[in-house]
Structure formats: structure tokens, C-alpha cells
Chains A and B, each alone.
Chain A
Amino acid sequence: MAESQALRWIQLLLKCTIFLFMTAAAVSSRLFSVIRFESIIHEFDPWFNFRATKYLVNNGFYKFLNWFDDRTWYPLGRVTGGTLYPGLMATSAAVWHGLHKIGLPVDIRNVCVLFAPAFSGVTAWATYHLTCEIKDSGAGLLAAAFIAIAPGYISRSVAGSYDNEAIAITLLMVTFMFWIKAMKTGSIMHSTFAALFYFYMVSAWGGYVFITNLIPLHVFILILMGRYSTRLYSAYTTWYAIGTLASMQIPFVGFLPIRSNDHMAALGVFGLIQIVALGSFLKAQVSWQKFKTVMVVSLIFLLLAGVCGLFALTYFGYIAPWTGRFYSLWDTNYAKIHIPIIASVSEHQPTAWPAFFFDTQFLIWLFPAGVFLLFLDLKDEHIFIIAYSVLCSYFAGVMVRLMLTLTPIICVCAAVTISKLFDIYADFSFWSDKSLEPSDSSNKTKIMTLVTKLTVCGSFLGYLYLFVYHCTWVTSNAYSSPSVVLPSRNQDGSMALIDDFREAYYWLRMNSAEDAKVASWWDYGYQIGGMADRTTLVDNNTWNNTHIAIVGKAMSSPQEKAYEILRQHDVDYVLVIFGGLIGFSGDDINKFLWMVRISEGIWPDEIKEREYFTPSGEYRMDALASQTMKDSLMYKLSYYRFASLFNGIEGMDRVRGQKIRDEDVGNLDYFEEAFTSENWMVRLYKLKDLDPVGRELHSAGEFERKSARSQKKRIVKRPSLDLRV
């Protein structure tokens, strides 16, 4: 008795130490970005989250909840408090307040930067408990170790990547853990916890819909398999009732749980489980024959009524139809045709196959094995994992960003496989087994077994080592770049940073009026808001397609038309990203076709994608480019003065490998260059004022150029004018 007690203590101590090391590994591998670069907020969306968090910290929760942001989406403004998931900001504000309470005056930026690494430790802990429920604690520890360093999860949770996903994956795993516990025991407490964490998840990430559909799917499959039980009933009804009511408290979600098709599955299963409960009650009361007929008839009736009802309500507009993002999950071409704005986002593209290996290394081939092993002893909770695996494998194949939700389950399944493998092959108890008679043959078998086991264990330890190596390499090389600062190399091979974005945003912050409006493609909206603190027309919260199309139209129109559009929206500056000089391929010219497509969707008569290609259908910028392309504002703003860096006649665009002629770019009469960053990546233009004497700016420019050349006309001709009215 005392011996087992001591053993338990040792186990606990070991477990704690392992967790400590795991958390250390998880956090430290995510700190590459801070070490390589600096403590900075990454990419695009995190800049908004950071700005919102600052607002929350400075103004308090009430103001944050009712925040009307007049510095974005000019002149519409954004009801920010009602259109964001406040979980992330609320959590980091709570952490910040907590730290201040205990006398640690940490800057809110550092809280935000280190937020994701800190939560990765919690994710590991939740994954451990989830896997414990699936198999045992050995598998749990392996799963926790995997999730701690798997690149698929690190990609969205390095230090500085202050995004909703940073906290959402943690909450996803915690919710699932509590759900499995609740489902196994029928404990109302556990399913209440599942509901509460579901609420937390709803407040943090739009991906909560995944839980909303996965748990009902699990329940539905269990019912179909005839595994209905009162435990399942109490777990699901408790989770659904509390979870749905709680999720409706988030302003952005509001009445969606009862109005949107995305949530109808959960509601339907809730109804179904009531009927099944009634059925099983009746079954206990009446004879089997009678029950069978009642069941068949009522099932058919209910199914028909349900489906018809759903269609009717959707048709009459009581239930919102599936959203575009949802359709694009089923048909990868849907978005490209119908909603270019969704397709234009790179993370909404289908995943390339190597990405799976890149993000999870050897876990990817252990993953199917794990699913197979779970099939072998098909317990209720295993069905959950299987459903999760199947669904997410599909989703991850459709959209790159959903790799993120697949990674945890890959880790769990792979851990199950490896732990099963080690259960068998790392079991060396046969060596001291006394039951066998010591003989030559048995000795030989023993040695052979030992060799086999050692080979298998050794090779898998090797794999594990390679896995750690791969994860570290991927994290440090691929996922640690803040994309605000770009790494590059000098000619002598030393490390150099390209800091054009911050240079330009800082210029804007210091040199423009505080209420200046900046028009740029929506990708840079959050960064302009966060770093330059200037009003933007559109940003990464792409809620208004028309408004984005307006900016797209301005960029794809000729100067004078663009000037008119931009002036109407009180724009002071236009910002374009140009990579042609240093070969940065993510620039606006490469995104330009999306601008054209999005605005073509709204103004098909004025903007036509075909006209931006050469007659032979090529996307060119050089002398062969179509006239519409050469006239477009984007072309002019990108290449203005570009040739002057070379010989003044034509310049070499390093991204597209084409020669840009100065005569194609022509003059800028409606805009003037305000700022161009060191490597020409960010170019800022100011809209000229209206001509004070009422000329078209183009003719004013022509006049200026003519008087500079001092051409004189001797002969005065009678002008042909319209009749003055």
C-alpha cells in the first residue's frame, strides 16, 4: 500500500516535471520571432487586436463594448464593439490588470506579444487530459508534447502573433476535453464546464461554429449507432442549453444561434435527442412490435417536417442561408466565382500537399494509423475523435488556415499510435518472465524479441528526434517572420532587415494631418490604423464588399476617374505597396487582379477584367501591357518615376521580370508623390487640390509642362467653345 502511494507520488512528480519542460519547450520555441527580430506585433489582424486591446485597457470594458470606431471604414465607421470577438482582448486586458495588481507594471504590448506562447502551455495541458480520456496518460503526455511544438499550431501562435486563433485552439481543446468527460460520465458539472468554455470560445473566435457542429455530429452518430444513453442526454442538453444562451450574449453573435443555418444542426440534434429520449421511455413502457411501427412512422414524419421546415424558413428569410465562407468549404471554386473577396485571401486557398508534412512532419502518417486503432475499440469517445479527424482532414484540404484545427487531432491520434506501439514494443517485462523454461529455443526467441523491440523503439525514438529537429527548424525559419519587418541578406551574406513598412507608417504618423484619410488596398488597413494612426477607407475586417470595391475601382480606373472617386471620399493620401525594386512578390500589382475582380462584381459595365490583360491573355506590365492597364491608377502609382532609378527610359521590375517604360507611366496630374520608402516598397501619394482657377487638373498639368518648355504660339486661333449658358 505504502509502496503504491510512493509510486503515485513519484509519477506525479515526474508528470509535473514533464509538463514543466513541455511548457518551457512550447514557449521558448515560440520566442524565435522575438529573438530574431524584436518584440513586435505581427502581420495584419494582430494589429487590429492590439489596437482594440489598447482601447479596452485605456477606456474600460463598457466603452469597449460600445466602441464606435470613426477611424476605419471612412465615412461609414465601424461598430467595432458589436462586430468583434472580444475574448482575446478581454483576456489580455485581464492579464494586464492582474499583473498590475500584483505590482508588475508590464506594457500592454508585451502582454499581447507573449500572449500566444503563454497559452500554448495551457493547450498542451488540455490536450493531455483529452488524450487521457481517449487512451491513457502515456498517450496524453505524448500528445501534449506533440501539440507543444507542432509547427501547424506554432504557425499561428508565435510571440507577436496576437490573433484570435492564439487563444481559440486552447479553448477548443479545453471544451472538447470537458465534453468527452461529460459525455462519458453524464456529469452535469462537466458539461456545464464544456458550455462555459464553449462560451469563452464563442467570445474569442468565429471558428466556434466548428464546435457547434462537431458535438451535435458526435451525438447524432452515437444515436444512429444506437448508443443513446441518459448520460448522453444529460450531457448534450446541458451543454446545448447553457452554451447557446451564453453564446447569444456576445453582441457579434446575437441571435445567430437560432437564425443562421450554421447553427441549425445543433438545434436539430437537440430536438432529436428529446424525441429519442421519449422513444426510449416509450420503449420501456410498450411492447416491441408496437414501438417499432410508432418509431418508423414518427421518424419519417419528423424528418420530413424538419427538412421542409428548414427549407421553408430559409426561403422566407427567417433563417440566414449558409454564408459564403461556408459554401467555399464545399466547393473550392465557389468563392472564386461568386465572392472574390474571400478567394483573394491567401489563407483561404486550398492547401498544397507538402504543407501537411511541413506542418506536422511524421505525425501525418501516424495520424491514419491512430484513427484505425481507434476504430478497433470503438468506444463513444473514440467516435468523437474519428468524426473530428474526418471532418477536419477535409476542411484542412480546402483551406490553408484550417490546418490549424487539424493539427491538434493529428497530435492526439499520432500520440495514440505511438503510445500503443510503445505499449507493445517498449514492454521488456518478458526478459524477467520466469514462466518460460530456460532453453536454447526460448533464449533465442527472447533475444530475437529483444532485438525487434529495440529496433522498433530505437527507430521511433529516432523519428521523435527528427520531429523535434524539424519543428525547431520550421519554427525558426518559416513561422517567425513578423511580415512587418522582412529579413534579407546583404551582399556579404550578413543579415539585414527591410523595414519599409514601419518607415512609411511612421512618416505618415509624423507628417500628415491627424484626421487625414488614407486609401489603400484593404490588406494594409489594420496596419495603417495600428501603426500610423490614420483614418482608413477599408481594412482587413472585410464586412462591406461595396466599400472595398470602391477602392478597387479607384485603383483600376484612369487617374481622373480615380481622383473623382477618392475626392468624394475625402481621401488625402493613397498608399500602394510596390515590390518591383527589391523583388517583394506580395505587392499590390500582384494583388491587382483581385481589385479588378472585386470591383467588376459591382460595376461590370465599367471595369472589365479582360481589358487588363494583353490581347494574348497575358498579365504584363511592360510595353505590351494593355492600354487599360497602363492607364490604371495602380500602374501609375506603382511605377511613377521608376525608370529614373535606372537609365530614365525603362526600369527593370524584379518581381515580374519585365521592363517598364517611362513613357507608359506618363505624368501624374492628379496626385503628387508624398513619400517613397527606402526600398520603394511603400509609396504614398497625396491627392492634389482642385485647380483654383477651375481647370481640369490634367490641363493644368499640361499647361505647366508647356510653360516649362516655354513653347510659344504665335498664331492665335479662335477657340471652338460650347455655347455659354
Chain B
Amino acid sequence: MEFRLSYVLKLLFAWIQVIAIAQAKSSSGSKTLIVYDQRVTALEEYSVVFNSLKDRSFDIHYTAIGNDSTPIELFDGESRDYDKLIIFPTRSRHFNRQLPANKLLAFLNNGGDVLAMTSPDGVADNVRVFLNQLGIYPSPKNFVLKDYMHATDDDNSLLLSSSSILNEHVVTKGNYELKYKGSAALLDNSELIIPVLQAPRTSFTEDSQKANEKWTVGTQGYAAVSFQSLYNSRVSWVGSDSFFSDRSSSPNSQFVDELMKWTFSEKSVLKSVGGSHVHLSGLDYADVPYKINDQVVYKIGLSEWNGEFWVPFMADDVQLELRMIDPYYRITLVPNTSTDCVQYYSSGEINLPDHHGIFTFSVNYMRSGLSFVSERDVKAIRHLANDEYPRSWEITNSWVYLTAIYSVIGAWSIFVVLFLGIQGRKDVTVEKKNN
């Protein structure tokens, strides 16, 4: 039953994939909701970004936030209504009640991707609390990232070098300058956070109304931060809405494009086609369970989504762990065969440990910026059966004992034969004499 169910699911998945390839470019759905505050954001200013999204067949819905406080539903019962969510800076006080932070978290934990923007003009409470839960602390309202060394002359925008982009999987480095005007965020030490754009050394974030209130100083601050949850759903935060606008399109468009592609799972998405392990002879665990010191081969196939197709994923740092509480082996897998869409990695022959127990074959490929791949298989490795040890005569050391045993047995039987034989004759003669 379970098997059949998984089969149906696989079919369904494959079918969804076909549709996805034909229409959308995200690996995980394309229904997008854009939430904006009419008082802060004029949507016309973002036509470049929206057109680019539409070109990539995203299905865009808009919700404007006004003075009413009707809740924004991201879920229809248990199932998610939207796949992506873009939140523009908001000033509305109702927004917090319309879409509370725990709803946002639930959306993320259900596999939805979120692109959140804040700006010195609008930091909604719910978005702030949501980001705080992830470990991102955007500067509050009125705090502005300033840097007198890297400012443009016209509107005090910052010029950030794209060569200092921190994660190549999210946005590739380049030789152009990004125009940034907005806030900055502090980050905590969560390993799921992927810093993308760092504030320059000479920058600081300051309250534009109260003097000497600082949020970040120097490279503490970040202008763009990404985040990937353990379930591979993604969040990006940028501290500026004007960064995406048509006006800054010419310097920023490449960065914005790549950041949005990453956030909406259009790139750097990995999947495994399943790890498997067999005896060196090719026999399966189901045929012959493993015993200690057996030789086995582990194989796993990895694919990467390039925006249109699944292509082979190449890496030299995929590792297999064979563990029973602690790892017994940690082996770097080497690329083996590949097909059009899958690269297979193989461990070569592994000598199973000389220790029986229940072991886990696990590949846990977690790289910042790539989606996490985790494959686990728990298998028992049994001890040697009573007839699988070498026979006594095959061990040269035992020859001493074998010789001893058989010489005693031999001597004993000779003794018995002689004793009985001699005694018998004596008895007869004694009897005769007595008679």
C-alpha cells in the first residue's frame, strides 16, 4: 500500500515537473502574491521587475494594504494558496493584524518563498518580528544606512561594489556598482542565514531624527540577506525598495534578477535522485543482508535546476557518512557516471566496519546558498554466523592444539587396546592356575 502510494506520488511529481518545465521557471510553483502599501509604493515604478517575473511565467496577484483590516489569507485550510510572497515596505498599522508574523513563519515552513523589503519609511511589525525569528534584525523606521565615502552626489545613495558579494550561489560577483539607498540589518549567528551584500567598512546606520542612535556600524550591517530554512524554503530581505525600482534598474537589474531567481527557487536548487548501496557483487541488501567486513558500494545521484531543466550537479565535496551514533567512516564521494540530468557519485568499495550494529548511511549535503540535500538509510550490519568463521584447520596457530588433541585420542585408544588385550590374557592364565 505504502509502496503504491509513493509510486503515485512520484508519478504526480514527475507530471508536475513536466508542467513546470513547460510553463514556469521556478522549481517550486509560481503563484505569487505581492503585498504593498498604497501610501508608500507605486507599483508602476517596478515595471521592470514585474515584467521580468511575468516573462518567467509567474502568476502574479496583488493585494494592497489600506485602512481596512481584512486578514490576508495565505492558506486555504491546510494547503498553501500561494507559492511566493513579495512584501513591500508598509506603514499600515493594520498589516500586523492582517498577516501576523506566525502566519508568515507558517507560510515559510510550508515551503513558501518570501522576498521582504523594508525601508526607512516602512518597517511593518509583523515583517520585523518574522525576520527577527530568522535571525535578521533590520534597522527600525527612520534608520538610514549612510556612508560618506561611497555616496553618490545627487541623492545620497550608496555605491556598493558587486565584487564584494558574499555568496556566489545566490548572486554572482561582477565588476559593476550597485546603487543602494535604505536601511541595514544586524545578523545573528544562525547558520541558515546567507549574507549577500555587506555594508562598507566606513558605513553606519543612524536614526535620521535622533542624533547618535546607531543600529549598525561598519561591516556589522548588511544591505541584502538571504535565508534558507531546513525545508529548503527561501527568504531574502533587502533594506530598500528603491533598489528594485525602475530608476535604479540600470546598475541593479542583474543583481535584482539573480537575487529574485534564487529566492524563488529558480537557481541553486539541488535534488537527489536517491542514494543506494549494494554489495560489491551487485546484490542488494534485500537479497543478502550486510555482515561485518562486507564490501559495499554507495551511489547517489544529484541534479541541479538551472531555470529550465534539471542538469547534472558537479561538486567535489559530497560526503558519505556511515554512522552508529558517531561516524565510523566519512568518505568523499567521487563523480562517477552522469546522464542528461543526473550526476552520479560513488564511494568506491567500502569495507564495512568490523563491528555489528545498526548503521546509518547518510549523505547530508548542506552548503550555504544551495538547497540542502539529505539522504538517510538505516541498515543493520550483522555479526558472523556460527559457520562463517574460518575452520580450525585453516588457522595455522591451531595446528598445535589439533595435534595435541588427536595425539591424546590416539594414545588413549592404543592404551585401551593394549590394556584390554594384555589384561585379558593374564586373567585367563591366573584362572587356569587357580583351577
Task: A724 to B100: give the CA distance in the assembly, Å.
Answer: 28
A692 and B109 form a contact (CB under 8 A): yes
B386 neighbours in A (Cβ, 8 Å)? 65-66, 251
Q: Mark A673-700, 1 if CB is under 8 A from B, else 0.
A: 0000000000000000011111100000
B128 within 8 A of A: yes
A693 and B229 form a contact (CB under 8 A): yes
Give residues in B with beta carbon < 8 Å to A. 96, 100-102, 105, 108-109, 125, 128, 132-135, 137, 140, 186-192, 195, 215, 220, 227, 229-231, 233, 324-325, 356-360, 378, 380, 382-383, 385-386
A568 neighbours in B (Cβ, 8 Å)? 325
A473 within 8 A of B: no
B133 neighbours in A (Cβ, 8 Å)? 693, 695, 703
Nearest opposing residue in chain A for B109, CB measure: A692
A721 and B188 form a contact (CB under 8 A): yes
A694 and B191 form a contact (CB under 8 A): yes
A9 neighbours in B (Cβ, 8 Å)? none
B189 neighbours in A (Cβ, 8 Å)? 721-722, 724-725
A68 and B380 form a contact (CB under 8 A): yes
A-B contact pairs, 22 of them (CB 8 A): A65-B385, A68-B356, A75-B358, A76-B324, A76-B358, A79-B383, A515-B378, A690-B230, A692-B230, A693-B105, A694-B135, A694-B230, A707-B101, A710-B100, A712-B125, A716-B128, A719-B132, A719-B137, A719-B186, A721-B137, A724-B195, A725-B189
A77 within 8 A of B: yes
Contact residues, A63-93 vs B (CB, 8 A): 65-66, 68, 70, 74-77, 79, 82
Contact residues, A329-379 vs B (CB, 8 A): none
Task: A671 to B383: give the CA distance in the assembly, Å.
Answer: 35
A82 neighbours in B (Cβ, 8 Å)? 383
Contact residues, A27-69 vs B (CB, 8 A): 62, 65-66, 68
Given contacts A79-B356, A712-B125, is CB(A693)–CB(B102) below 8 Å? Answer: no
A716 and B358 form a contact (CB under 8 A): no
A721 and B229 form a contact (CB under 8 A): no
Task: A693 to B114: give the CA distance in the assembly, Å.
Answer: 13
B187 neighbours in A (Cβ, 8 Å)? 721, 724
Residue in A82, A569, A718 whose Cβ sees the most chain B Cβ within 10 Å: A718
B215 neighbours in A (Cβ, 8 Å)? 718
B231 and A569 form a contact (CB under 8 A): no
Task: A68 to B187: give the CA distance in the assembly, Å.
Answer: 50
A564 within 8 A of B: no
Contact residues, A535-593 vs B (CB, 8 A): 568-570
Task: A725 to B188: give the CA distance in the assembly, Å.
Answer: 9
A74 neighbours in B (Cβ, 8 Å)? 358
A692-B229, A703-B133, A724-B187 given; 6 more Cβ-contact pairs under 8 Å: A70-B380, A76-B357, A693-B105, A694-B192, A712-B96, A722-B188
Nearest opposing residue in chain A for B103, CB measure: A707
B382 and A68 form a contact (CB under 8 A): yes
B195 neighbours in A (Cβ, 8 Å)? 724
Residue in A515, A570, A695, A724 whose Cβ sees the most chain B Cβ within 10 Å: A724
A68 and B383 form a contact (CB under 8 A): yes
Residue in B132, B191, B227, B230 whose Cβ sees the most chain A Cβ within 10 Å: B230
Quote the shortest CB–CB distance from B7 to chain A (angstroms). 18
Quote the shortest CB–CB distance from A81 to chain B (angstroms). 8
Task: A721 to B186: give the CA distance in the assembly, Å.
Answer: 8
Task: A565 to B109: give the CA distance in the assembly, Å.
Answer: 25
A611 within 8 A of B: no
Task: A721 to B101: give the CA distance in the assembly, Å.
Answer: 21
A704 within 8 A of B: yes
B359 neighbours in A (Cβ, 8 Å)? 75
Which are the 8 A-B pairs with shortest beta-carbon distances? A70-B380, A68-B382, A66-B385, A716-B140, A75-B358, A707-B102, A692-B229, A694-B192
Nearest opposing residue in chain B for A703, CB measure: B133
B230 and A719 form a contact (CB under 8 A): no
A703 neighbours in B (Cβ, 8 Å)? 102, 133
A718 neighbours in B (Cβ, 8 Å)? 137, 186, 215
